[in-house]
Structure 1
């Protein structure tokens, strides 16, 4: 069973990898992916990582919308809540 802490740690790892940050770098809930330096190629890396880690399809358009309009915390809640995954 995956805990909320496990989900957060997994998303932080993928987020940091996509942005080219050192592993283990904390990500504040209010951080916006694109404001933090994310690019369209970084979104593709994050998307692939999410599908691999969470073993299921992730809607790329919805993910981009979340990353553009929301923050890390919003993406985390979407990934962690059954039925609301991007």
Structure 2
């Protein structure tokens, strides 16, 4: 899963967990995300879409556009199994 399909899937999960709309400039932590919520995001992405992303990626790329770019550009992060 790459590109718009990936962005849409990730946006849906972020919006569910944060409880608000998300755009490219949304910073997960500034929008109210917590460490527990970060764990929920990576667990949900893995269970729904087989995206095995380490939680540290969200901590290092907490802005939505940066997070999805990291998933799109890192080999294997967003690869479905």
TM range (shorter): 0.7 to 0.9
- The two structures have a TM-score, normalised by structure 2, of 0.76
Q: Which of 63, 66, 77 lines up with 1:85 in the alignment?
A: 77
2:5 is aligned to 6
Aligned length: 78
1:72 is aligned to 64
Moved over 4 A (4+): none
Q: Which of 31, 38, 42 lines up with 1:36 in the alignment?
A: 31
- The two structures have a TM-score, normalised by structure 1, of 0.73
Contact 1:78-1:84 at 8 Å conserved across structures: no
